[in-house]
Structure 1
């Protein structure tokens, strides 16, 4: 199955972008080739661009606090598994405490590192990080894999609480939704939302169908058009009915 997600607002869009960058960073960090570690560093620079909003940290702290209060309210419900609920509350509290302990602007340690900033300035130029442009960076890439891994991990570590908080918030958001099985008749599906506010839409499709959803939505209506791709990767309307799982998420 392939899951496609559609954010209803800019706040969730930013969190999804950062989640995607973190997955990319984690993959390349744990590789061994210098070129792969270069991608990991370049991804940190991308993170700084996306996470540059001054209110991102405060938004996450407020959401974590709100979720904690909501979850504590479930403690009196006899139908809730107490052990699982306590674990989720602990995850929320840990993420909140660690994020609150972060001081200064997000990624300020990177911005204060002149060497990293020199690399950042060159990476925005196509081919700008060649050895003749950045000989010291070229020398660093020749260091043992373990040393490069340790350096990158150290540079990223002040950002780790932010991404832990993002992971917790998005996990709770995804788990808040109820999934329904629907059919896009003739490759098209519409649903009136009647003004109810959602934050995230998830569409789950079987991989083997080759069906790709194009999603547009607001607080009144969602519209999903199912497309396919030919050999030249050109999209075209999917022919026939398409069953899929639809999940609307909201805290």
Structure 2
């Protein structure tokens, strides 16, 4: 129960990686606020220590009001996990401004707003962790997904800038960079790949699995364990890092 008394927020916390992280934090003693646009999804996974909050990370007022409300209810946020994201590929010449802006509004703007509002209470305490969920695409180019790649590179840049700003203070800023994880996003991408390429479902899945050098999809719990480490007693010197969880990708 190393996180007893800590309040965490996980955006996109109702499914996939976000839910795995929320459960791991709660099992370690934290009170965890999970956010998303679909309240019914959040409520379906809520527990005595996992609390649903309907919030749209693309909407500044929703983030400002939502985080203020959960701070009022459960105290300062000391663990901030901006996880909400969109993962979709599209060739540059087929990318319009609506697609570009929607991706950036969630993957980058949403993280910026979540971190900014969380820091307002975190910096009144003597300890804090910001753990952004980026992607292996934040460290290298992902073929067929230049917009997604740009958004995840930018997220790591934001984290590194904040790590520099707060160096020497009791708050750390790191990013997790998983490759393909076994979540509903993979299922959605299978459909997208099939439509773009004419592949069948098995071939589309194999395409994604093949990106992971160890030849399998990553389990969400493998990502949540990395998040727990960054909240651990001896994690204070891990700051400004982009941590690969990618089966040996170099």
The reply to whether TM is greater than 0.5 is no
In terms of fraction of residues, the more helix-rich structure is 1
In terms of fraction of residues, the more strand-rich structure is 1
Provide TM-score, normalisation by structure 1.
0.23
Provide TM-score, normalisation by structure 2.
0.23
Q: Which has the higher contact order (CA 8 A, sep 6+)?
A: 1
Q: Name the larger-Rg structure.
A: 1
